[in-house]
Chain A
Amino acid sequence: KNQVEQSPQSLIILEGKNCTLQCNYTVSPFSNLRWYKQDTGRGPVSLTIMTFSENTKSNGRYTATLDADTKQSSLHITASQLSDSASYICVVSDRGSTLGRLYFGRGTQLTVWP
């Protein structure tokens, strides 16, 4: 069964600290993996996208890594800010259809305290 599991479910950190969020998936065949940020009451916004051949990709203070062999990804946030408080969703796409079926994780709820 194709699944995307994220950990931790929730995380609280102090402003300025770093953190790492995890994503494990069983989706096969694999096309790409995206990390989205979803602010409360808003729609998800894409942060990074990685294909099979990419190991790391950065977007400002966000750095995503991908190990396609172990089917694991991480999202590292550096020098956290209050505005980083949001849900971070890992989304994996397969190659099994024209639509490029997306599998969503439940997200990690990150809270940054001052």
Chain B
Amino acid sequence: EADIYQTPRYLVIGTGKKITLECSQTMGHDKMYWYQQDPGMELHLIHYSYGVNSTEKGDLSSESTVSRIRTEHFPLTLESARPSHTSQYLCASSGRAGGLQETQYFGPGTRLLVL
């Protein structure tokens, strides 16, 4: 069982609201990731971080931003939510072992619905 947590699990908000999705892990992993997943579709990487104060945009263009002030914490923020942001957001982390077999451990996800 991976020690990676996401809150909230479900969120329903109105258009234009600012929201922050929380992600934390207690495994001491240096790398963390945010993915977006729509039903029946593949995961798309939207942000990743190699370590503290390191953040990069992923493959899928996203209006969200992230920060990495502490190793264990990688929150994602939407300044002004829109219905097009409705999706499932998955946070993941991977460890210091590095190399070719580094496995990503996923959190339970946040299901976001923007009305």
Contacts and interface: CB of A to CB of B under 8 A. Distances in A.
Task: Using C-beta atoms within 8 Å of the partner chain, give the interface range for chain B.
Answer: 20 to 34
A42 B43 contact: no
B22 to A, nearest CB: 14
Given A99-B48, A106-B42, A43 B100 contact: no
A104 interface: yes
A95 B100 contact: yes
Contacts of A44: 43, 90, 106
A49 B101 contact: yes
B108 A41 contact: yes
Given A51-B101, A93-B100, A107 B107 contact: no
Interface string A6-32: 000100000000000000000000011
Contacts of A46: 103-105
B106 A43 contact: yes
B3 interface: no
Contacts of B105: 46
A35 B46 CA distance: 21
A100 B90 CA distance: 18
B112 interface: no
Interface in B32-68: 40-45, 48, 50
Given A41-B109, A46-B105, A99-B48, 6 more contacts: A32-B100, A43-B109, A89-B43, A100-B102, A104-B43, A106-B41
Interface of B: 2, 4, 31, 40-45, 48, 50, 90-92, 100-109, 111
